[in-house]
Structures are given as structure tokens and as C-alpha cells.
Amino acid sequence: MFIRLDALSVWRNKEVKERLNWYYQVMCNIKPAKFLICKRLPSTIDLKNSSEDELWREHEILSKNFQEVYNKINSNELKLDEMEKPSQNFLDLKAELLKRIITHCHLCEWRCGVNRIEGKRKGACKLNSLTRVSTWFHHYGEEPPLVGIGGSGTIFFTGCTFRCCFCQNWDISQDPLNGAEVDSKKLAIIMKNLREEGAHNINFVGGEPTMHLHTILDGMKILNVNVPMLWNSNMYCSLEAMKILIDVIDIWLPDFKYGNDSCAIRLSKVPKYFSVVSRNHAIAQAQGDMIIRHLVLPNHVECCTKPVLEWISKNCKRALVNIMAQYHPDHLVLSQPSKYPEICRRPSNEEMREAYKYAEELGLIYEPVS
Ligand code: SF4
């Protein structure tokens, strides 16, 4: 068996344990995952015959109820077993809302408005309503708190909402037909097997998982094992998608790449980057445990690394930060002559030292290690 010692010793670090306390307790089966709490919250609304606005009003009420119940469970005032199993619950309501959302899709901030159920792939992500998964496995290369002994139960969804010229997973992210079709039942079996084989969490990634949220929620409806849900995303989700996610995600693993919109447009072809991604980071950190990833790009320390770290230090005080050095030129950056000459090399030692020094000056816990 492969064991990473840092994945075991990391939990001796008080700061890490305190900041990832909810995730740790779910991982160890001391507390139920948030999606299991949602299943105990009754929803009495007529799902089929209510308008989308009516469903959102019900969602707002249940989200407040969820917070109260979650706080009680977190402080040991209430146990999940003491709550009855309602015939219709908060997850059913979320799943119905997602079915409606993808008929005029605004799962992410492209807000294409296309009907993905009709089968055509007209949105910016080029996906219809079918979900495809490239692969899934126990991942031992994630951050130490996510790995443990059994690895992170990582599921790679197909497609992406970004077009990063340096994407290292471009075969998954840029080909909407990559992988195999997976419905909610298959997804629930994948999640169950990963957990029962020892995975410490279910890690939704890609490509990007946002476009597949409807299948993911339906899978959670079927899943009956306790496991922390981890959202590993570019954080370009719509506000509506964030509202759905906030009550079911136990730990967030978001990417914060760019410190301004012009770098995001040039390198990932995505508009309004900073306002959308910073908004979503702020929402997520107010509600849950979080490790933020920042990939240092060569020649982007001043325009991206420093503003991102500064924003995190002011707005996500509880988050751990992973400042990543593993960038290498890939995908479109490798074309000759390259249209992206400034990122045609790895970040230098000097650039990495500068990034770490800046994080230290800001008081960030920049590597979740023991
Ligand atoms: S997920 Fe985003 S990119 Fe894809 S269709 Fe929906 S709004 Fe458009």
C-alpha cells in the first residue's frame, strides 16, 4: 500500500485541524456530511407544479433551516439519527431546481440560456444535459489533508467553462465527448465504491464539475454512505449554482488563478473573471472549510499572484492556501511560434520565493503541511 507520511502527520498541525474541523469530523465519520443533513430536512412544496421563483423561495427558507440544524449538529446539540426521514426533502428541491436551470442554462456565469435537455450542445461548455466522466480513482497527489491513507476519491468530469491555453488536462477539459456517459445511478455507485474502498472524500473535478451539477445532486440523492463532498472547481459557478452547492459541500478546493480580468481573457478566454471568482470564494469561505489553490504562472507574479494573495488575506481569513509551483508549458502554449511567449517556461525559483515571501508577509498559511 502507498502511504504519504505528510498526509498522516498533517492532522497534528493544530491550525490545519482547526480550519478544516468540519471536514475532518465528516472524514472520520464523527459527523454526517452536509448532503445527509439536507436529506432530513422536509420540503412540502409541490415540486412539479411550482414555478422556479416559488421553488427558490422555498429554497431560501430551507437554506436557513439547514444552517440552524447544521449548527446544532456541529455543536453536538443534535444528532442526525434523532431527525426523521421526510418523504420529500431539501435535496429533492435542489435537484428539481437544477432540472429547471439547465433548460435555460445558467449553471455558470457564461449564462448561455440554452436548453441543454434538448440535446444540442450550444453553450460555451459545448455540453448537453448528459454527463460524461473521463476517469475516477483514489488520488494520492492532492494536498495532505485530502489524501490520508485511502486517497482522495477523485472523479474527473468532461468539459470546462474555461479555455485555458496552458491546460494540463486539455484532453478532458476541451473535448466534451471524452470519457463515458454516467447517469446519477452510476455516479452514486462510483461514489459509494470509492468511499467503501477507503477514499477520504469525493473530489468533484474535471475539466470542471459545475456543468454536471444536476447529475451530481441526483447522485447524492441516491448515495447512502457518509463521505465529505469536495468541490474542486474554477469557481466560475453562477450565484444560483453556489446557492445549491453551499448546503452540500463539506470542503472547497477552488482555483484562484488571475488577479485581473485582462490576464483571464488572454489566457483562459473568460470574461468578468475577478468579480465572479472572488464573489464565489467569499460565499464559500463564509460557509465552509477551504483550501485555495493558486498556480504561479511565470511573469504573472505582480499582476496575478500578489493581487490574488492579497485578496485572500483580506477576504478568506480562515482558508488555507496552496501556492503551486508545478506549472509547465502545455497545450496551446506549445504551438510554434507560441502566442503566449511569457508563459513558455516554468516559474523560476526567484518567482516562487517571491510568492512565498509575499504570502508570509500577508500572514497566510500557504502550505497545508504538518
Ligand atoms: S454550464 Fe455554463 S457554459 Fe455550459 S451551457 Fe450552462 S451557462 Fe453555458
CA of residue 245 to ligand 1 center, whole Å: 16
Q: Looking at the domain assignment, is residue 370 inside a domain?
A: no
Task: Give the nearest ligand 1 atom to 123 CA.
Answer: 5
Task: Please give the model's pTM, rounded to 2 decimal places.
Answer: 0.96
For strand 202-205 and strand 180-181, is the pairing parallel, antiparallel, or unpaired? unpaired
Ligand 1, residues 120, 122, 126, 127: which to mutate, most atoms within 8 A of Cβ?
Answer: 127
Question: What's the pLDDT at 353?
Answer: 96
pLDDT on residue 370: 39
Q: Is 101 in the pocket of ligand 1 (CB under 6 A)?
A: no
Ligand 1 binding pocket includes 105 (Cβ within 6 Å): yes
Measured in Å, residue 304 CA sits from the centre of ligand 1 at 26
- For the CA of 106, the nearest atom of ligand 1: 7
Nearest CA to ligand 1 atom 5: 123
How many structural domains comprise the chain?
A: 1
Q: Residue 289: beta bridge partners? A: 251
- Residue 34 placed within a domain: yes
Which pLDDT does position 16 carry in this prediction? Answer: 92
Where in the sequence is the domain holding 341, given as residue range(s)? 5-362
Ligand 1 atom at minimum distance from 127 CA: 4
CATH code of residue 326:
3.20.20.70
Contact predicate 13/369, CB 8 Å? yes
Strand residue runs (E) in the chain: 132-139, 152-157, 180-181, 202-205, 229-231, 251-252, 289-295, 320-324
Q: CB of 276 closer than 6 A to ligand 1?
A: no
Nearest CA to ligand 1 atom 6: 105
Strands 132-139 and 152-157: antiparallel
Atom 4 (ligand 1): residue with closest C-alpha?
Answer: 125
Please give the chain's pLDDT, 370 residues, in tens.
567 888 888 999 999 999 999 999 999 999 999 999 999 999 999 999 999 999 999 999 999 999 999 999 999 999 999 999 999 999 999 999 999 999 999 999 999 999 999 988 989 999 999 999 999 999 999 999 999 889 999 999 999 999 999 999 999 999 989 999 999 999 999 999 999 999 999 999 999 999 999 999 999 999 999 999 999 999 999 999 999 999 999 999 999 999 999 999 999 999 999 999 999 999 999 988 999 999 999 999 999 999 999 999 999 989 999 999 999 999 999 998 889 999 999 999 999 999 999 999 999 977 654 3
CA–centroid distance, residue 90 to ligand 1 (Å): 24
Instruction: Report if residue 368 sits inside a domain.
Output: no
For 52, the enclosing helix (H) or strand (E) is helix 52-74
CA of 163 to the centre of ligand 1 (A): 13
Q: Is 161 in the pocket of ligand 1 (CB under 6 A)?
A: yes
Is residue 367 one of the residues assigned to a domain?
A: no
* 69 found inside a domain: yes
C-alpha atoms less than 13 angstroms from C-alpha of 75 in its C-beta half-sphere: 6
What number of other Cβ atoms are within 10 A of residue 269's Cβ? Answer: 12
Residue 308 within any structural domain of the chain:
yes
CB of 291 within 6 A of ligand 1: the answer is: no
Is 175 inside a domain boundary? Answer: yes
Q: Rg of the chain's alpha carbons, rounded to an integer?
A: 20
Ligand 1 and 121: CB distance under 6 A: no
Question: 160 in ligand 1 pocket by Cβ < 6 Å?
Answer: no
Does residue 167 sit within a domain? yes
248 C-alpha to ligand 1 centroid (Å): 21
Nearest CA to ligand 1 atom 2: 108
pLDDT at position 195 = 98
What pLDDT does residue 22 have?
A: 97
Q: Determine the longest span between alpha carbons in the chain, in angstroms.
A: 65
Q: What is the pLDDT of residue 313?
A: 97
- Written as one letter, the residue type at 72 is K
State if residue 106 touches ligand 1 by the CB under 6 angstroms criterion.
yes
How many Å lie between the centroid of ligand 1 and the Cα of residue 126?
8
- What strand order describes the sheet that includes 251-252? 180-181, 132-139, 152-157, 202-205, 229-231, 251-252, 289-295, 320-324
Could you report how far apart the first and last alpha carbons of the chain are, in Å? 22
User: Is the C-beta atom of 213 inside 6 A of ligand 1?
Assistant: no
